[in-house]
Amino acid sequence: MPIYGKLGDLIGRKRLLMAALTLYAAGKVVCGLAMNMEMLISGHLVSGLGGGGLIILSQATLSDVVPPRKLGTYMGVIGAVFAVSNVLGPLMGGWFVQVTGWRWIFWFTVPVALLAVVVLGLTLPRDARALGKHPLDWPGMMAMTVAVTSLVLAMAWGGTLIPWGSLPFMGLVALAVAAAVVFVLLERRAAEPIIPMGLFRNRNFVLCSVTGLLLNISFMGALNYLPTYFQILDDLSPEVAGLVCTATSVGILITSTATGWVASKTGRYKGMLVAMCVVSTVGLFLLSRMRVH
């Protein structure tokens, strides 16, 4: 996502967004054709390379075409779409698994993504910038990739494929830390850094980034785990497990739309951010009271 963000600043976002959507659709085709787990994982890798661009470029593109004072309203609409998709996704996924077969979970997304490519091509303003005029921070990209990949592998393999505290685990952690240090040093000298270190002198940027990190770790962790929890412990069907999870999406739908509208109308948002943290704390505390049985 940081690489997409920087490339969007350098060369414009329209072509990048369309390329990310195409890559996302290509990954879903590979998943739909998968004959084994390795091929399925490879398809997810390709779709993830595209999906990372969709997450960051859609929001950045919005700031290009919408006045700052109206951003809240439009971001609220995007949040509402996200919420509705979260409702429909598990429901349709469960239905596909039970009725048409799991491959249709992936095939269904391909025409939707291609339709989005066509709509973007017809409606977004043309990019005015060209790639050749700007240097790319290849060393920084490589260092960041090594750091993130090593950390993800350490967290994924730790306690399963390799014991916590073992030499391979500690080696991955050490590699992640070393690559992160190298990344910071490279970014301080790069002509066009992926993540300018000067951002971290902005107190609001640091506070929002740390808060977002902590909330997303807890929120996305719970959101991704709950359908599995309901299917295994409560013996629910995939379709019903998806339906149970719609409570979260209803909350997102209400608050994303309402807070975006309020922020645009009043220009005030700090109180809603504080309230968000309080409400999230209560919700996560209640989830922590769930028991194995």
Q: What is the rounded CA–CA span in Å between residue 26 and residue 113?
A: 10
Residues 25 and 167 in one domain: no
Determine the structural domain holding residue 49 and report its residue range. 2-127+204-288
Looking at residue 55, what is its pLDDT? 82
Element (H, E) at 157: helix 138-157
Considering the domain boundaries, does residue 196 fall inside one? no
Looking at residue 133, what is its pLDDT? 64
Residues 18 and 160 in one domain: no
Say which amino acid occupies 32: G
Residues 23 and 122 in one domain: yes
Residues 12 and 87 in one domain: yes
Looking at residue 229, what is its pLDDT? 84
Report the 10 Å Cβ neighbour count for 94.
Answer: 21
Considering the domain boundaries, does residue 269 fall inside one? yes
Residues 177 and 61 in one domain: no
Looking at residue 32, what is its pLDDT? 92
pTM: 0.73
Torsion over CA of 153, 157, 161 and 167, rounded to 10 degrees? 80
Considering the domain boundaries, does residue 142 fall inside one? yes
Residues 168 and 48 in one domain: no
Looking at residue 173, what is its pLDDT? 96
Considering the domain boundaries, does residue 132 fall inside one? no
**What is the full DSSP assignment across 7-48?**
HHHHH-SHHHHHHHHHHHHHHHHHHHH-SSHHHHHHHHHHHH
Residues 80 and 153 in one domain: no
Considering the domain boundaries, does residue 273 fall inside one? yes
Read off the tokens for 204: 């609001």
Looking at residue 7, what is its pLDDT? 85
Residues 13 and 114 in one domain: yes
Considering the domain boundaries, does residue 218 fall inside one? yes
- 237: closest CA among 21, 90, 109, 108? 90
Burial group, residue 36, by CB count within 10 angstroms (0-12, 13-18, 19+) = exposed
Q: What is the rounded CA–CA span in Å between residue 45 and residue 107?
A: 16
Considering the domain boundaries, does residue 199 fall inside one? no
Residues 264 and 182 in one domain: no
Classified as helix, coil or strand, 128 is coil
Residues 222 and 273 in one domain: yes
Considering the domain boundaries, does residue 146 fall inside one? yes
User: Are 252 and 83 a contacting pair, CB within 8 Å?
Assistant: yes
Residues 119 and 41 in one domain: yes
Residues 44 and 171 in one domain: no
Per the structure, the count of domains in the chain is: 2
Query: Tens-digit pLDDT profile for the chain (293 aa)?
Result: 888 888 888 888 888 999 999 999 999 999 999 999 999 999 999 999 998 888 888 888 888 888 887 888 888 888 778 777 766 777 777 778 778 888 888 898 899 999 999 999 998 888 766 555 667 788 999 999 999 999 999 999 999 899 998 999 999 999 999 999 999 999 998 888 888 898 999 999 999 899 989 988 888 888 778 878 888 888 888 778 777 877 877 888 888 888 888 888 888 888 998 998 999 899 889 988 887 77
Looking at residue 134, what is its pLDDT? 65
Looking at residue 23, what is its pLDDT? 94
